[in-house]
Amino acid sequence: MKIHKEGYQTIIISTVIVAVIIVLTMLLIMPAYPLVGWILVMGIIGLLIFILSFFRIPARTHSEGDELIVAPCDGTVVVMEEVEADEYFKDRRLQLSIFMSPLNVHVNRNPVSGEVQYSQYHKGKYLVAWHPKSSTENERHSVVYKSGNKELLVKQIAGALAKRIVNYLKPGDKVQLGAEMGFIKFGSRVDLLLPLDTKMEVKLNQKVKGGVTVLAKW
């Protein structure tokens, strides 16, 4: 398992803060209240372990296939419905939304191989990720991929805790299925807008793994 580069600064700052708190606890609290001191030390170490795990990149074998659309992130499928596209597309699309909890791996991956047609950041609100309006009103970054003669749109959407979206793609980039496309810090969701004739391979409330779970087929 590796640590994602987006976490280096956060981990360094967190480690320094944790070290200072532990030293102060041992000097000021433990002599008089040893039990309270040890509880505080264990709690702060647990928080640091959580931060480390948030930026983890587990070793995985990714799915492969030109006809496959794989999960761009870890999480739970919370929406599967037909919607009127509100960005880039002018037609109706199938929306599939994946909710990412703070415990999920937060690397975002390309759901298909192909060429990036569109990449746009949008400022916005920080509604909870499962709010129906989070797809259109929250901070988000949208990417359109073209694979063969098909196109799909992926939205990285910020939530109440996630206030930093990272995306590495720009129009014209040639990308591979399963390769990194970005990162969302501390929980959020990812939406996919797919053609209506896409064959879905997952169900509502299903747990999925980024780069591994096949969401649909062209």
CA dihedral 109, 111, 114, 115 (to 10 degrees): -60
Active site residue 14: no
Give the whole-angstrom CA distance, residue 107 versus residue 73: 6
Strand boundaries in 87-213, DSSP class E:
92-100, 107-109, 114-122, 140-147, 150-158, 165-167, 174-175, 180-184, 188-194, 199-200, 207-208
Q: Would you mind telling me the total number of residues written for the chain in this entry?
A: 218
Is the Cα torsion angle 136, 138, 177, 82 positive or negative in sign? negative
d(CA 153, CA 184): 17
Beta bridge partners of 151: 146
DSSP tag of 179: S
Q: 113, 142, 147, 188: which is the annotated catalytic residue?
A: 188
Q: In whole angstroms, what separates CA 106 from the centre of its chain?
A: 4
Query: How far, rounded to the nearest angstrom, does the alpha carbon of residue 84 sit from its chain's CA centroid?
Result: 24
Catalytic residue list: 188
